[in-house]
Amino acid sequence: MKKVITFILLYIAVYVGAMLFVQKRYNYDWTPISPREKLGQSIEDLLIKEGSPTLMTDKLPESPSKANISFEKASIDNKKSASIKQEEKLPTQDSAKESSEEINSQQTQQEITSEETAITEEKDEIDSAEETTQNNLQELSVDQEIEQEQNTPIAQESEKKKSTLEEQLAAANLVDIRSFRTKVFLRMKYATTDNFTERKLYNKAKCYLKKPVAQALVKAAKLAVEEEVPFWLCIYDCYRPTSVQKIMLKSVKEQGFLSKVSNHSRGMAVDVGPCNMQGEPLLTPNTFDTFSDASGAYYYGDEVPDIAIDNRTALQEVMKKAGFNTISNEWWHFDYKGAKNEEPLDIRF
């Protein structure tokens, strides 16, 4: 391929050189001649050869041939056509120029937009860094406030009470039922306002019991799920400080349902009811803390459905197998054996 190109270029160079040599040596005019002009020259040459130069001299200036006139007219038309085409090309060139300017303008706008985007991103990074710094300062401030509050006498006293509560519970052999990892449902009514006093009597929804009592309750919970019709235990109350018992005595209107000293205050009693595996109470003769005849452990009124009596009976049986005893006026209350041997306690929680 390279050889072919070289040959073509060499040929063109030789051809151009030959043309230049002929033009310079013989003063040859390479301007193209139209057929009509060539015909006029041929007639002139013919007249000169026949010895009549006067004919060409006399007639050509006065009356030019039609061929020359047509040639001149054609030349003028070609110039006009060329001028018109050139004028037609000018708008195109202007349009191209405008397109080029528009493209340059768009490129410039894109560059400006890119710079603005970069500036915006840099500003966002700076704002984010400032916000992070501010958050860190706020967190530090909060930590300092917490540290200051912990160093106040009130906070130190609260921490002292906390340690004292743990020490008092341990000294009284009271344990949290949750420490046994048994599936029971805590529904500590007196840690809410949903009770007959309509007051929140406990600060924590905790079930504390003497350790042997807690172990017996765990046994009862296991027996319940092994029943022919299994059920689970919902715990409503466990250890109850004596100061809370006094508040209850002032609030209750019905006599005979509360004693001045409760086995709850000894950590030896528990209020419990049957429930399903979702922790929803099963049907019983009445609800917890309802002081009526239906609260009796052996009440069989006609208004009580058989299923309610069956659920109550199943609860009593598993509790008795675990070492608990019922009392006559509350079907949900169970005392552990030897309860009277323990001293009542007033450890607030």
Condensed to tens digits (0 to 9), the pLDDT of residues 274-320 reads 999 999 999 999 999 888 899 999 999 999 999 999 999 999 999 99
195 belongs to a structural domain: yes
What's the average model confidence in pLDDT over 166-187?
92
pLDDT > 90? residue 265:
yes
pLDDT > 60? residue 151:
no
What's the average model confidence in pLDDT over 165-172?
89
24 or 101, which is more confident: 24
By annotation, the residues acting in catalysis are 330
The predicted pLDDT at position 322 comes to 96
The helix (H) or strand (E) run that includes residue 189 is none
Strand partners, 335: 269, 325
- Both 77 and 206 in one domain: the answer is no
159 or 292, which is more confident: 292
- Both 13 and 98 in one domain: the answer is yes
Q: Domain end: 91, 107, 123, which one?
A: 107
- Both 103 and 166 in one domain: the answer is no
The predicted pLDDT at position 57 comes to 39
φ, ψ at 151 (rounded to 5°): -90, -5
The predicted pLDDT at position 32 comes to 59
Of 8-12, 250-254, 334-338, where does the model show the most confidence?
A: 334-338
Of the listed ranges 55-69, 259-273, 322-336, the least confidently predicted one is 55-69
135 belongs to a structural domain: no
Q: How many residues does the chain have?
A: 349
- Both 84 and 173 in one domain: the answer is no
The predicted pLDDT at position 39 comes to 53
The separation between CA 220 and the C-alpha centre of its own chain, rounded to angstroms, equals 46
pLDDT tens-digit profile of 56-85? 434 444 444 444 444 455 555 555 555 554
Mean pLDDT of the chain: 76
- Both 312 and 175 in one domain: the answer is yes
Q: Domain end: 64, 90, 107, which one?
A: 107
Structure confidence at residue 111 as a pLDDT band (50, 70, 90): low
Number of H helices, E strands in the chain: 8, 7
The helix (H) or strand (E) run that includes residue 271 is strand 269-275
Structure confidence at residue 36 as a pLDDT band (50, 70, 90): low
Specify the number of domains making up the chain.
2
186 belongs to a structural domain: yes
142 belongs to a structural domain: no
145 belongs to a structural domain: no
- Both 328 and 179 in one domain: the answer is yes
69 or 23, which is more confident: 23
pLDDT > 80? residue 138:
no
- Both 57 and 187 in one domain: the answer is no
The predicted pLDDT at position 26 comes to 66
pLDDT > 90: what percent of the chain? 43
Of the listed ranges 96-100, 124-128, 249-253, the least confidently predicted one is 96-100
pLDDT tens-digit profile of 220-239? 999 999 999 999 999 999 99
Query: What are 37's two structure tokens?
Result: 């002009």
The predicted pLDDT at position 344 comes to 94
| Rounded Cα distance, 69 and 161, in Å | 130
Among all chains, which residue has been given the structure tokens 């905790």? Answer: 206
Q: Domain end: 60, 90, 107, which one?
A: 107
- Both 311 and 186 in one domain: the answer is yes
- Both 192 and 330 in one domain: the answer is yes
Strand partners, 129: none
- Both 188 and 67 in one domain: the answer is no
124 belongs to a structural domain: no
What's the average model confidence in pLDDT over 41-57?
47
Q: State the residue range of the domain holding 323.
A: 162-341
The separation between CA 263 and the C-alpha centre of its own chain, rounded to angstroms, equals 53
- Both 97 and 185 in one domain: the answer is no
What's the average model confidence in pLDDT over 249-270?
85
Structure confidence at residue 102 as a pLDDT band (50, 70, 90): low
The predicted pLDDT at position 90 comes to 44
Nearest to 348 by CA among 205, 237, 236, 243: 243
CATH number at residue 255: 3.30.1380.10
- Both 16 and 88 in one domain: the answer is yes
The predicted pLDDT at position 315 comes to 97
270 belongs to a structural domain: yes
151 belongs to a structural domain: no
